[in-house]
Amino acid sequence: MQSYYTFNSKVFFNLSKSLFELPFKSIIYNKNIVTKPSCRNYSAPPKRFYRKVGILKSDGKYEITLDQRKLKTPKGTILKVDNEALALAVATEWDSQKEVIQRNNMHLTALSSTVIDNPNNNTKYDIVQQILSFLDTDTILFYSKTMCAGGGWVVP
């Protein structure tokens, strides 16, 4: 048994005409919205309020001081690090700020603050799992089947 479909050209052309006109009308009517550049209202970066950066050793840990005031994390705890080299690097980051404080250039300060504050309340297991899932897609890590003479893997 064969089925026959009738084709009504008038309905088809009216439907296709309305489908094609709709996007063009919306683009024409909304052209001012599309062509305007996006504008974000960022607050001005804070000005440098300290003159001298120092390192203070207390209880076997190192604290960074700004004009004798202890540096604090975003949650308000005092920034204490275990390693003198890390304390020196964080102090150098703060000392390298000129007229305004650019926090996006202070990576070690941000990393140290995140470790101390632990804003997501991650356990060590959670952090290891996040790092391992990142390594699956890392483009810097190369797997090699060749081993060097000492028994370690060859890093290209």
Q: pTM for this one?
A: 0.58
Beta bridge partners of 51: none
What is the CATH code of the structural domain delimited by 53-135? Answer: 3.30.2180.10
Beta bridge partners of 62: 57, 81
* DSSP structure string for 48-84: P--S-EEEEEETTEEEEEETTEEPB-TTS-B-EES-H
- Domain parsing of the chain, residue ranges: 53-135
Q: CA quadruple 144, 136, 112, 108: dihedral positive or negative?
A: positive
Is the pLDDT at 68 greater than 60? The verdict is yes
Between the ranges 19-28, 44-53, 143-152, where is the mean pLDDT highest? 44-53
Residue 116: predicted pLDDT: 93
Is the pLDDT at 53 greater than 90? The verdict is yes
Is the pLDDT at 141 greater than 80? The verdict is no
Q: What is the pLDDT of residues 2-17, one digit of tens each?
A: 444 444 555 545 555 5
38 pLDDT tier (thresholds 50, 70, 90): low
d(CA 105, CA 140): 23
